[in-house]
Structure 1
Amino acid sequence: MKFASGHEGSLLAGAEIEKQRKDFEGYKDLVRLTPGRWLFPSAYTQYADKIYNFEHKSSDVVIMTYPKCGTTWTQEIIWTMRNNPDLNNPKDQIPLMVRAPFIEADMLVSGEQTEEDFAKNPVSQFFLKTCPDKNWRDGVYLQLSETSEEPRTIKTHLPFSLLSPSLLDTCKVVYVARNPKDVIVSYLHHSRIIKMHGYVGTFEDFVQYFVDDDLLYGPYGSHMKEAWERRDHPNLYMMFYEDMKADPYKAFKQLDVFLGTELTETQLQNIVKYTSFGEMKTRGEKQFPGDSSEHFNVDIMKKDGGFFRKGQSGDWKNKFTPESEAKVDEWIRENMTSFGVNFKYSI
């Protein structure tokens, strides 16, 4: 199968798909795109060209990250800076996934979704209200992205090569990166608690999936490189999770300049507090309820933490074995340091 982006896709088969299904009990069919080795649920093929041809507006801000690099945090920061600087916008009670839609999320939740599944989705009521004349089977999140009120804030984990080639010439993009060791730990937890992934393998096996570029969304190194090569474009702003954690006020102040939101000192300080991990965890747990056994592994959440787990930098030190650390260090040298990226591994 061929896509508008120029990529070709093929379904995983044989031992490769069987191994994925064994370790990720939520997976059915997966598709691999070349070039790039990007890995997605097979439902991606239904939306690939629509996403690639998505019509962005000059007022859009696209938040781009590899999974587990501070995406949800950045969504809340940017939406609040642009739409709720005085913290008095009643729409802040609307789920973040509606206020700042995850454009390709349909590939993660569609597949064999039924009318009943759609009705249970907490986003469905907002979709029916804002998209009354549209068919949810054509993509709930894709169409929410299209119909969101301006200024639109849109989230994606896709790399530049799978998005509109005119993206940076049309709107602003904020790319957030995080050190790969913490990404692995956070991605593992995410994959264990969310039944769509249903990861049941070991920590060591998950590390191997990462260094082999066999996790959903594919190679972090290639994802990061595509952004790094565009870092001098005036419409791209690159942030590092560790810098945001170390000094959020400074990070937000710099982001304010890029976005042109012209916030006051008081507004910035209030947003720092409002988007702190503790505040977001309290609000977020209402949007990602821990008793939702249909979508979450509640037993693991009770034991190891929910969607909002720690929000720390450096927690990898509590998880990695010397062997795993050596393996990932070698991967970092080959895939990150080789083109000039140097991460902070604790703050």
Structure 2
Amino acid sequence: MSSTKSVRVENLEPEVEEFLLKQFPGQPDGYAYFGEHKYVHPKAYKDHVEGIYNMPLRKDDIWVATFPRSGTTWAQELTWLVSNNLDYEGAAKSLSKRFVFIEFPSYFPKELVNKPIFGHEDIGILMDFKALASEPSPRFIKTHLPMSLLSPQLLDTSRVVYVARDPRDVAISYYHLSKLRKIFEFSGDFKTYWRIFLNNLVISAPYFEHLKEAWKQRKHPNMLFLFYEEMYKDLPGVVRRVAKFFEKKYSDAQIRKLCEHLDIDNMRKNKSVNPDLNSTIDTEGAESFIRKGKAGGWREYFDEGMAAEAEKWMRDNLSGTDLRFPEVGSA
């Protein structure tokens, strides 16, 4: 089609490729850079990048977009329930079936695509963007892709909830996920992982470019930009903002019930959003997909030197912008 647009794709530098293959052996085919900001994704994403970038959109599509480990699951459950008139019975169905994780198939061998990934048909299907075309409306779509790798018409067509989180907490959570998931198989310590994160070599990095792309579009009427720290400090207030965004009205009692449902301890016990670990995608003996859910928990991991390094990195990358992360103390 003449209207189809292309995304820039480049191979990694040989020494970087060799380094990442050693650190993350769960992707034996390696990685590539995508887009002008050189976002890191598995090489298999080459088979998906054009299809996702040019995919047909619908007016009633609802997207939840984040950098990995930024409160995605929390925002998905909140978004789905607010949009579906607080249908808790419907929310008992697996979140991985209620939302399509659009680029997730590029993390796996092709033979697993469009097949159950959690061992049970009623829990999750590894569905690619082509299968999404036959999904009934409204479609709920999850992504860790930056705005520049999604359709340029996305915000003019569909609604997007974007969630950002302090990168220090993101790094810790991503580190634990990288030890949990077989698609990473990271076995190093946190200091090693932090160096990789800081150098924008984890999947979906560069981190700040990802956030700044969404931040620049935060005033678009179809974009709701949230901070994880806001959800942590004032969940009822965020619920009201989400309800307003989707043109829904709920009573104080309904909002209290939803906040109780979304409490991190209840989320951790909820099998529809936090399924049991299984041998298909998880490392034996690893911890839960939903962990502590803290804001400010990075203080338990960073020594004085790492903390100073992180502050400078954040300050340098936020220079010239008005993007700032809400303070949450030492919770």
Q: When the two structures are superposed, what TM-score results if normalisation uses the length of structure 2?
A: 0.90
Aligned mates of 1:175, 1:60 — CA distance in 2: 14
1:211 and 2:211 aligned: no
Q: 1:325 offset after TM fit, Å? A: 1.4
Report the equivalent of 1:191. 178
| Deviation by residue 1:49-93 (Cα, 9 ceiling, x = unmatched) | 111112221112211110110001111111111125152x3x323
| Deviation by residue 1:234-267 (Cα, 9 ceiling, x = unmatched) | 1111100001011111110111111112223232
Alignment partner for residue 171 of structure 1, among 158, 165, 176? 158
Report the equivalent of 1:295. 281
CA RMSD of aligned residues (A): 2.3
1:114 and 2:114 aligned: no
Alignment partner for residue 319 of structure 1, among 301, 314, 321? 301
Report the equivalent of 2:189. 202
Aligned mates of 1:79, 1:285 — CA distance in 2: 13
Aligned mates of 2:170, 2:311 — CA distance in 1: 13
| Deviation by residue 1:204-257 (Cα, 9 ceiling, x = unmatched) | 221111221111112111011111111111111110000101111111011111
Q: 1:42 offset after TM fit, Å? A: 0.9
Percentage of matched positions with identical amino acids:
29
CA contact (8 A) 2:117 2:281 kept: no
CA contact (8 A) 2:7 2:49 kept: no
Q: Secondary structure of 1:45's match?
A: helix
Paired AA for residue 162 in structure 2: Y
Alpha-carbon distance change, 322 to 248 in structure 1, aligned in 2, over 3 angstroms: same
Alpha-carbon distance change, 287 to 307 in structure 1, aligned in 2, over 3 angstroms: closer
Q: Secondary structure of 1:339's match?
A: coil
Alignment partner for residue 280 of structure 1, among 267, 271, 286? 267
Alpha-carbon distance change, 285 to 308 in structure 1, aligned in 2, over 3 angstroms: farther
Q: Secondary structure of 1:43's match?
A: helix
Aligned mates of 2:115, 2:167 — CA distance in 1: 37
Q: 1:120 offset after TM fit, Å? A: 5.1
Report the equivalent of 1:62. 63
Alpha-carbon distance change, 286 to 264 in structure 1, aligned in 2, over 3 angstroms: closer
Report the equivalent of 2:16. 16
Report the equivalent of 2:81. 80
CA contact (8 A) 1:86 1:267 kept: no
1:1-347 equivalences in 2 (<5 Å):
6-12=6-12, 14-28=14-28, 29-87=30-88, 89=89, 91-109=90-108, 111=109, 113-114=110-111, 119=115, 121-122=117-118, 125=121, 140-284=127-271, 288-290=275-277, 292-299=278-285, 301=286, 305-347=287-329
Paired AA for residue 111 in structure 2: T
Write 1 or 2 for the structure with the bigger share of helix: 1
Aligned mates of 1:323, 1:171 — CA distance in 2: 43
Aligned residues: 325
Q: 1:119 offset after TM fit, Å? A: 5.0
Q: 1:140 offset after TM fit, Å? A: 1.8
Q: Secondary structure of 1:192's match?
A: helix
Aligned mates of 1:59, 1:118 — CA distance in 2: 24
Aligned mates of 2:314, 2:208 — CA distance in 1: 8
More divergent stretch after superposition (36-45 vs 6-15): 6-15
CA contact (8 A) 2:267 2:273 kept: no
CA contact (8 A) 2:73 2:273 kept: no
Aligned mates of 1:120, 1:148 — CA distance in 2: 16
Paired AA for residue 125 in structure 1: E
Aligned mates of 2:263, 2:221 — CA distance in 1: 28
| Deviation by residue 1:81-111 (Cα, 9 ceiling, x = unmatched) | 1125152x3x3232111101111111112x3
Alpha-carbon distance change, 51 to 119 in structure 1, aligned in 2, over 3 angstroms: closer
Which 5+ residue runs of structure 2 have no aligned equivalent? none
